[in-house]
Amino acid sequence: MSILKKIITFIILALLIITSLDTSTKNVCAIPNLSKNTPIKIAVFSDNSSAMYISLLKENLERIEKENEDKIKFTFFDAKDNQAKQNESIEKALSQDFDLFIISIISPNLKDVESTLRKIMEKDIPIILNPDPVQEIINFVKPYKRFVVVGADFEQSGTMEGSILVNEWRSNKQIIDKNHDDALQYIMLKGRIGSPLTSLRTKYSILALNDAGIKTEELASPSCEWMEDCAQSAVESLFLKYGDKIEAIVSNNDAMAIGAVEALQKYGYNKGGKSKTIPVVGIDGMPTAKDLIKKGFMSGTVVVEPSDLAEALYSIGMNLAYGKSPLENTKYKFDETGFRVHLKYNEFIKWLK
């Protein structure tokens, strides 16, 4: 009888060990990356790191890395606005041991990035796309379960920018409407052609004016690829052509808005006196733009702080790298798509009218 008891006990113990091993194996499969060695290695593929906002975003990611040296390591790749160069960098990174890719896609054409994105997905590397690419690219990546879009609402930024001008017009119409034709003549400074960022900010900034009952007339719309120097040169040239006909300058970002202010100041405008100020509005909340706004040289901007975006990329990225739910233990929420997080813009205007 004692022999039988020993046999039964042995069988029970064997079954318990097998069950334990099976459960352990299932847990590893469910969250495959929890055993990863730290620090987590993240490759950041920027479109152009010399752009003002991108350079500040990089600084903030580097700050986060310094504060979390044992947890995370960022490696930065600059495409210099060249999709082929970015694809080449991603191809090289695929042969290295990265846990996550953060990508700012440059081209609006799926055919330019389709092969590269497919290779990332085949290697099962999680992806954060920032900012939002065109819908065709999103549709291509959507079936992949390990991707998130992190950015901001381009429509909202354009609408808020236009609203700043609406308030300027209502407060100072007698000064702004130089030819008294009850319409706002403006220059639009555009970013990269083909980018949804450019098209939506352009469309909705003017739509906000029109929806408020303000008639508008576009004098010119040079494309300056987000760059300050280009905008300064463009506005200097356009001022020689249009002069006092220019009643406002709307810029797709702050860098170009800053360039516009510098150009106007060359001709004695936007130095503090209301009678010789042409309203200039931008987007991004860059420190130089904020300073110009405080001084009354620029009308306003709308802001998603680079530090806030960096924190979102870090928090969501770490979850993705560890195989967790992307928003676990974060303050962020997906929109109706179930894969996109949009940070909210805030208005920054001059303190005193």
pLDDT tens digits for 7-25? Answer: 445 554 444 444 443 433 3
**Cα–Cα distance, 42 to 147 (Å, whole number):** 14
Protein fold of 155-303: Rossmann fold (3.40.50)
Q: Which of 95-99, 247-251, 270-274, 290-294 has the lowest mean pLDDT?
A: 270-274
Note the pLDDT of residue 37. 63
Query: Which candidate, 114, 108, 104, 48, places its Cα nearest to that of 81?
Result: 48
CB contact at 8 A, 292 and 264: no
Name which residue leads in pLDDT, 18 or 109. Answer: 109
Helical residues (DSSP H) of the chain, grouped into ranges: 2-30, 52-67, 83-94, 114-122, 135-141, 154-176, 196-211, 228-242, 254-266, 287-294, 306-321
pLDDT tens digits for 115-131? Answer: 999 999 999 999 999 99
pLDDT at 27 over 90: no
pLDDT tens digits for 152-163? Answer: 999 999 999 999
Note the pLDDT of residue 23. 35
pLDDT tens digits for 252-297? Answer: 999 999 999 999 999 999 998 888 999 999 999 999 999 999 999 9
Cα atoms in the 13 Å half-sphere on the side-chain side of 142: 12
**Cα–Cα distance, 208 to 214 (Å, whole number):** 9
pLDDT at 352 over 60: no
Per-domain residue ranges of the chain: 1-30, 40-152+306-346, 155-303
Note the pLDDT of residue 34. 46
CATH topology identical between 40-152+306-346 and 155-303: yes
Report percent pLDDT > 90 for the chain.
Answer: 84
pLDDT at 28 over 70: no
Find the mean pLDDT for residues 78-93.
97
CB contact at 8 A, 42 and 100: yes
Note the pLDDT of residue 4. 47
First and final C-alpha spacing in the chain? 98
pLDDT at 235 over 50: yes
Protein fold of 40-152+306-346: Rossmann fold (3.40.50)
> pTM of the predicted model, to two decimals?
0.83
Note the pLDDT of residue 79. 97
